[in-house]
Structure 1
Amino acid sequence: MEYNTSKTHLQMPEYGRIIQQLVERCKEIENRDERNEMAVAIVDFMGQRNPQLRDEENYKHKLWDHLFILAKYDLDVDSPYHILTQEEMKVKPKRMEYPKLQGDFKFYGKSILQLIDKAIELEAGDEKDALIQVIANNMKKSYNVYNKEHVQDEVIFRHLKDLSKNRLDLTVLDSLEKSKIYYATNRTNKSYPRNNPKNQNNRKNIQNNKNRK
């Protein structure tokens, strides 16, 4: 009986031993044209065995990279893509930079920074004032959701100044509730109070119509 431990080591177990054996057979073919033809067939077979790869971007390129990994980079065939060497495959990717928002401001999100940059670029006027107040309102909502507590407007004003490096200032406002933009962005989310005479009249009219039927 032949045990797996005595067989050739699988470079990529997810492809199975059959594909590994095909790759080893391909390396033994002397005729280059036949070797190229078999390499293409193996790549197609690898795609059939792992159909989930087809949902990924440049999946064909990945299959060819996997082919050379299976061959231990010892396969002389014409690849339609750049053939990575074993040394290139071992190179670690560059370290990703952390987002700018850190510490006390991370819950505001990157989109707030983009809006702040946009507001700074605008010339002084109604458009700029409206955008600044929209930013402050969204900052307040994000703060309340993340910290699960009500935040005073003065805190939002201070954070906005810090994030904009003192280039955006809302300290001239007593509160966000007194700004026109607050009512414009929140009016659609508010319903009339139950004791509103207009609502009571509407309910009476609806009930009268039902009684007539």
Structure 2
Amino acid sequence: MEYNTERNQLLMPEYGRHIQQLVEHCKSLVSKEERNEMALAIVEFMGQRNPHLRDEENYKHKLWDHLYILANYELDVDAPYPFPTREELAQKPKKMEYPKLQGDYKFYGKSILQLIEKAIELEEGDEKEALIEVIANNMKKSYNVYNKEHVQDEVIFRHLKELSENRLDLTGIDSLEKSRIYHSNNKNKNQNQKNNSKKRYNNHNKNRKR
């Protein structure tokens, strides 16, 4: 009886010993033409045994890479893709950068980042200043809703400056209440309140005349 401890090590256990043996046999074939035919058949078989790989991008390329790994990087065939080297596979992936919206900033949302990028692209002028103030006001609303507390404007200014990598700066404004966008909103709000009051007064007079 042959024990697993006496067999060759499985280089990719997920494919099983049967495929490993097929690959070893393919390596032993003298004719390159025969190796090419058998390698193609093995790759097709590997795909059938692991159908979940078909959902991945470039799964055929991945199967050929796996075939080469199973052959311990010693398979001489004409593959449709360049085989990886040991050194390439041994390389550690590059460290991913954390997104900007972490910790104190996560509740602002990606839309704020998009608006910030848009504001950075605008030329200096009234339109850019107005957009920056809109961004700051929305940041303040998001902060207050998420943290359930009132935030000082200087905190919002600091966050805006950090999120824009020092490219947008509202530190010249004492507070958002003194910004043009705030006064514009209040002016519209007051005008709407006046219009609503006028409507109610007119409706009241009409009802009295009836």
Question: Scaled by the length of structure 2, what TM-score is found?
Answer: 0.71
Query: Residue 66 of structure 1 aligns with which residue?
Result: 66
Cα RMSD, aligned residues only: 3.3
Structure 1, gaps ≥5 residues long: 185-196, 198-213
2-side partners of 1:89 and 1:135: how far apart? 45
CA-CA distance at 1:166 after TM superposition? 6.9
Closer, same or farther in 2 for the Cα pair 1:138/1:45, shift >3 Å?
farther
Query: Residue 177 of structure 2 aligns with which residue?
Result: 174
Comparing 2-11 with 122-131, which one deviates more in the overlay?
A: 122-131
Comparing 6-15 with 29-38, which one deviates more in the overlay?
A: 6-15
CA-CA distance at 1:80 after TM superposition? 1.0
2-side partners of 1:42 and 1:181: how far apart? 69
1-side partners of 2:89 and 2:45: how far apart? 23
Please say if 1:133 is aligned against 2:136. no
Amino acid in structure 2 at the alignment position of 1:79: A
Closer, same or farther in 2 for the Cα pair 1:159/1:88, shift >3 Å?
closer
Closer, same or farther in 2 for the Cα pair 1:43/1:62, shift >3 Å?
same
How many residues align structurally?
186
Closer, same or farther in 2 for the Cα pair 1:146/1:67, shift >3 Å?
farther
1-side partners of 2:15 and 2:145: how far apart? 46
| Identity of matched residues, % | 71
Amino acid in structure 1 at the alignment position of 2:90: K
Question: Scaled by the length of structure 1, what TM-score is found?
Answer: 0.70
What's the CA shift string for 1:142-163, capped at 9, x where partnerless?
Answer: 4345534332344323432454
Aligned runs of 1:120-199 on 2, under 5 Å? 120-144=120-144, 146-164=146-164, 165=166, 167-169=168-170, 171=173, 173-174=176-177, 178-180=182-184
Query: Residue 82 of structure 2 aligns with which residue?
Result: 82
Aligned runs of 1:103-114 on 2, under 5 Å? 104-105=104-105, 108=108, 112-114=112-114
Structure 2, gaps ≥5 residues long: 189-199, 201-210
2-side partners of 1:92 and 1:117: how far apart? 32
